[in-house]
Structure 1
């Protein structure tokens, strides 16, 4: 069974990597412009050929420019095959800070989702893996966990950056996006926002498993239980994404300190440190998510607010105790009402099991989407 959280040995302090240092950027770079790049060796990843770490220009959820990081991997068997398809693989939640960004874990050979990345490489596809806004880059955190628009921008701008990387040979590549759990959320938000934000991209389709579609329902489910660290991580990540709003007013003085400490932790530390602890422990009210400002944030962060122009494959485990299958079924119904080209698959297994069980069909669906004609691109590019 695949472990969907990064190993604890990858977190913690270490030497500062100057490649990832930086601050907020000005308005000169366009979203997707490559700010820095370097070649890396990924000898421990099956199917990997040449690989690069990138720092690229992106936009936060409310259009503020921000540098982001990611990894681009060419397939070992892709030489001389012409234009290779590009899959942007969106990882599950790795943490709010520390050395847990996918680009760091891939370079260290301890990325827990390497099996899925390797499966895409085995198809002869180029794979791009975003770290997500606020993760990986020094001084820009915490990671904007659960912020859908920010996640979409990180995905789409990495696709843009990959097309600008001459060595990747992806300038005219058709693109698909794949992710699971919070990665599935990033994938569908990318599909929803691509027509307005990045219409020039030849996006052909999306596969997304166990999508975190309804944050209000999820936080009620996990708060105070075994997954309580994710509720706190959501408060921290969304608080960072909506820093222009007074969302921190619900916190006590002790809560402010707790948020500061949590912002530096990876997923394993968050889950272990805050297990069974309710958010009310650090807030002025017992139900902070029912605060009017937070109700607004959660309502803004629901999926299916825009209509994807590409086919979407959704899948879910019927025994998922973290993200209930009903949430996936509801998203399927909402997309169907919007007229989205859809497919759906359920697996009789839990959260981690469905990630593995659904991978084969997800890749097969993406391969079929790549054979379709490009969708229309009528919306103007957002800069």
Structure 2
């Protein structure tokens, strides 16, 4: 019998995030639980709701996901649905108290709160998914680097927003924005939307520093200062493809490591595994070259689908974490397939590009969305 990595069974003390039992009769996007929360880091959010909503795994199994929906502090004079931006955060971790929907509701500082605030300032509704395996108790670890899972979390949250009667957003125009792992999720959402969620009125995506090819990314980070990301990729993908014998490369010490790491946030992963190679816990020094791993990593290459909406990509020219070439290859692939795709490049590194490109990204989203006539506060 093939041994698998265990699910993270640590129970969140807040019963709201307990994983409910789901069947195939629960449609993706159905709201399972909801509650209003305050968002102390976002003064321009009039109202906010934490949601548990139904989603589907990479391979179609029902699962619960969590996220937060934020309404802007404005009135909509036209009475039409306000536009929706699904903002996909960067990698927060495999587990622990790091889910964005919980941080934004006061559990701790959210690193991208200022970017989310800039979207609310435009008069847009903003939805922030936690991603599969993060936030909801007992179903972790986070499915880090799993493109289809990330896309489902994004598109099903857009469906869930349409079910919030307070927003009247059933016919809202939708865009998606993300950077790094969030950018990867954004382009995967664009690729999956025509078949997975054709009823979502997706108008376009804006994606920065897209980690397009995990097979090339993992050996670059392995054994270096960002080695915790290689560990997270191994664990996240092993959990995603648990039906395949992908954990066979781990030694007994490796299984123990994976169980411990599955509950760590990004900061703990980076500190704990700094400069440590995956070969320390595997039967071979380069587990990404194992035939089964080569197979599943090949399935995770971005740019093989064809979005039906405009896609804007951007990247830092000196990005040492995510090489610019793999992201530009996505641009070329989309262009060759007739996608309306644009590209911006910044003379900055990985971290600096987040701030350097932020205003341009918001401006690009504004070209994709209808502009509501705004005055005063959001009603009710």
What band does the TM-score fall into relative to the shorter chain? over 0.9
How far does residue 34 in structure 1 lie from its aligned partner after superposition?
A: 0.2
How far does residue 24 in structure 1 lie from its aligned partner after superposition?
A: 4.7
CA contact (8 A) 2:318 2:348 kept: yes
Q: Structure 2 CA distance, aligned partners of 1:174 and 1:157? A: 15
Q: 1:68-107 counterparts in 2 under 5 A?
A: 68-82=65-79, 83-107=81-105
**Which residue of structure 2 lines up, in the alignment, with residue 323 of structure 1?**
322
Choose the corresponding residue for 2:38, options 38, 41, 56: 41
Find the residue that maps to 2:344 and give its secondary structure: strand
**Which residue of structure 2 lines up, in the alignment, with residue 381 of structure 1?**
none
Task: State whether structure 2 residue 57 is matched by structure 1 residue 60.
Answer: yes
CA contact (8 A) 1:223 1:278 kept: yes
Q: Structure 2 CA distance, aligned partners of 1:359 and 1:46? A: 19
Q: Structure 2 CA distance, aligned partners of 1:50 and 1:326? A: 41
Task: State whether structure 2 residue 306 is matched by structure 1 residue 307.
Answer: yes
**Which residue of structure 2 lines up, in the alignment, with residue 116 of structure 1?**
115
Q: Which runs of 4+ in 1 moved over 6 A?
A: none
Aligned length: 360
How far does residue 358 in structure 1 lie from its aligned partner after superposition?
A: 1.0
Task: State whether structure 2 residue 259 is matched by structure 1 residue 254.
Answer: no
Q: 1:156-171 counterparts in 2 under 5 A?
A: 156-171=155-170
Seen in structure 2, the aligned counterparts of structure 1 residues 147 and 24 have a Cα distance that, compared at 3 Å, is farther
**Which residue of structure 1 lines up, in the alignment, with residue 339 of structure 2?**
340
Q: 1:1-383 counterparts in 2 under 5 A?
A: 16-82=13-79, 83-108=81-106, 110-371=109-370
CA contact (8 A) 2:40 2:104 kept: no
Deviates most, 166-175 or 150-159? 166-175
Find the residue that maps to 2:134 and give its secondary structure: coil
Deviations 1:281-311 (A, max 9, x none): 0000111000000001100000112100000
TM-score (normalised: structure 1): 0.92
How far does residue 169 in structure 1 lie from its aligned partner after superposition?
A: 2.2
How far does residue 176 in structure 1 lie from its aligned partner after superposition?
A: 0.3
Q: Structure 1 CA distance, aligned partners of 2:185 and 2:305? A: 14
Q: Structure 1 CA distance, aligned partners of 2:299 and 2:100? A: 27
CA contact (8 A) 1:219 1:231 kept: yes
Q: Structure 2 CA distance, aligned partners of 1:241 and 1:91? A: 19
Seen in structure 2, the aligned counterparts of structure 1 residues 15 and 246 have a Cα distance that, compared at 3 Å, is closer
TM-score (normalised: structure 2): 0.93
Q: Structure 2 CA distance, aligned partners of 1:335 and 1:122? A: 31
CA contact (8 A) 1:54 1:70 kept: yes
Deviates most, 349-358 or 243-252? 349-358
Find the residue that maps to 1:72 and give its secondary structure: strand
CA contact (8 A) 2:94 2:134 kept: yes
How far does residue 79 in structure 1 lie from its aligned partner after superposition?
A: 4.6
Q: Structure 1 CA distance, aligned partners of 2:75 and 2:30? A: 25
Q: Which runs of 5+ in 1 are unaligned?
A: 1-12, 373-383
Seen in structure 2, the aligned counterparts of structure 1 residues 15 and 60 have a Cα distance that, compared at 3 Å, is closer
CA contact (8 A) 1:23 1:139 kept: no
